[in-house]
Chain A
């Protein structure tokens, strides 16, 4: 196989898929850093966000990209509501209870999507997009947009966490919660902020999954395992880890097709997850152990 076809058929699709995983994994890692539990409704929240974008697109006749910001903001606020409704009163209980509750929320979200939008596969735009050809590298416009927006979101998040007072408060709460409380940080505000960021990124990951493949009610559930594998591979609680983890899982999935049948792609995420847990449970960037 020559280099160009390696890039076109394996590396580029892997990076695009990896960026989608990374957007979800950042949310998973942030939620764990602040609240210390795995949020298993994350995949279905991504589905929800993707379908909100679809609803905005069809109702207003907008381009799907114009619907993306609406879906991001709406899903972020929706995530705060889920937290208030289902998780807030469980905060003082052992974290495993909230983890199980998040499974329940996942089922509710999926059922909601199935009741409102049905179980059939659909898509934002119909027809086939032709890839652009740059010196033999073939990339589709929606792939470029996926990467550009993912990078932009990560840069904005990084700026927020390192420059903004409340961004720093989030890092402080993740680092040393007792000292953050002693310093006067309002736990409730940090939690709400975490949900709006994680929910917004989650909607973006669902949207880009939909625009690069198709929309269906189990789309988010199907990427839950690779998303968690990405977060754990990078090191739970580490945003840079979630990004690197996402890309590695995405690329590994595409490359695995060389060895195993395509339908078993997701197995490679599972294999990575197992390997990390056995060999280096803190992940590449020395995160927390789930």
Chain B
């Protein structure tokens, strides 16, 4: 397996305080990997440290063989990694279309192909392209956020709790869209509270607890493990 993203023995946190302890992970290209675990396990922290938003104290992060440890977010974006934060992940006073244009801000030249692809992935948004993003429903806002991140044609998409606060219907839709996104050649690493449902659609999973790796494996294997189900997946 060729690793697109590889994290080795990562220690990271805010300031001097560590939140993650020796976390290691890999994501292969075109793979959907989910990070699950109880509240406060460091799931979102792991995501943010990949994107250069935290202080890394030890360990390394590499994308496609390039060491990106300690890079600034705008450099990491250029390395092919885009990040969708859990909250405030859209420009709510701008239109859907302008959100996508801002996603392509760093691109030089024509980006109509990326725009077409995003509208193909989110057909619902095509009719709403001139609507102010903040006026959309929660699920559609999440789609705007994903579309914005996809405008740079990333190799790896980081999604921080994309289904938080969404209805089951929208949750299924976001998972389905994520699969479609993967089919266009993008690997996805996501953090999920809805562990069972997420493992049902992901390829592999990591279980984090108290800032450390606890379990890892293919999604079906994690789902089948009685111990993990009882401890982390709500029975």
Contacts and interface: CB of A to CB of B under 8 A. Distances in A.
Interface of A: 165, 168-169, 171-172, 174-176, 178-185
Given A182-B83, A184-B74, A184-B105, A172 B94 contact: yes
Interface of B: 73-74, 77, 83, 85, 88-94, 98, 101-103, 105-106, 148
A268 to B, nearest CB: 31
A28 B83 CA distance: 33
14 contacts: A165-B105, A168-B98, A169-B105, A172-B91, A172-B102, A179-B85, A179-B90, A179-B91, A179-B102, A181-B73, A182-B77, A182-B85, A183-B103, A184-B74
A183 B89 CA distance: 11
B102 A180 contact: yes
A178 B87 CA distance: 11
Q: Which of B83, B90, B105, B106 has the most CB of A within 10 A?
A: B105
Contacts, number: 54
B119 to A, nearest CB: 19
B102 A168 contact: yes
A168 B73 contact: no
A187 to B, nearest CB: 10
Contacts of A169: 102, 105
Q: Which of B77, B90, B94 has the most CB of A within 10 A?
A: B94
Nearest to B106: A184
B88 A183 contact: no
Q: Which DSSP category, helix, strand, loop or mixed, fits chain A's interface?
A: helix
B93 A185 contact: no
A168 B105 CA distance: 10
B102 A178 contact: no
Q: Which of B73, B77, B91 has the most CB of A within 10 A?
A: B91
Nearest to B88: A176
Given A181-B73, A182-B83, A184-B77, A176 B105 contact: no
Nearest to A237: B93
A246 to B, nearest CB: 21
Nearest to B73: A182
Given A169-B105, A172-B91, A179-B89, 12 more contacts: A165-B105, A168-B98, A171-B94, A175-B92, A178-B85, A179-B85, A181-B73, A181-B74, A182-B74, A183-B77, A183-B106, A184-B74
Contacts of B90: 176, 179
A239 to B, nearest CB: 12
Contact of A179 (B74, B88, B98): B88
Contacts of A165: 101, 105
A183 B105 contact: yes
A172 B83 CA distance: 17
Contacts of B103: 183
A119 B77 CA distance: 55
Contact of B93 (A171, A178, A183, A184): A171
A174 B105 CA distance: 16
A175 B73 CA distance: 19
A217 B88 CA distance: 45
Contacts of B77: 182-184
A178 B88 CA distance: 9
A176 B74 contact: no
Nearest to A185: B105
A125 to B, nearest CB: 43
Contacts of B105: 165, 169, 183-185
Nearest to A166: B105
A47 to B, nearest CB: 33
A176 B91 contact: yes
A6 to B, nearest CB: 38
A180 B83 CA distance: 12
Nearest to A186: B74
Contacts of A168: 94, 98, 101-102
Contacts of B102: 168-169, 172, 179-180, 183, 185
A185 B85 CA distance: 17
A74 B98 CA distance: 32
A171 B92 CA distance: 11
Contacts of B85: 178-179, 182
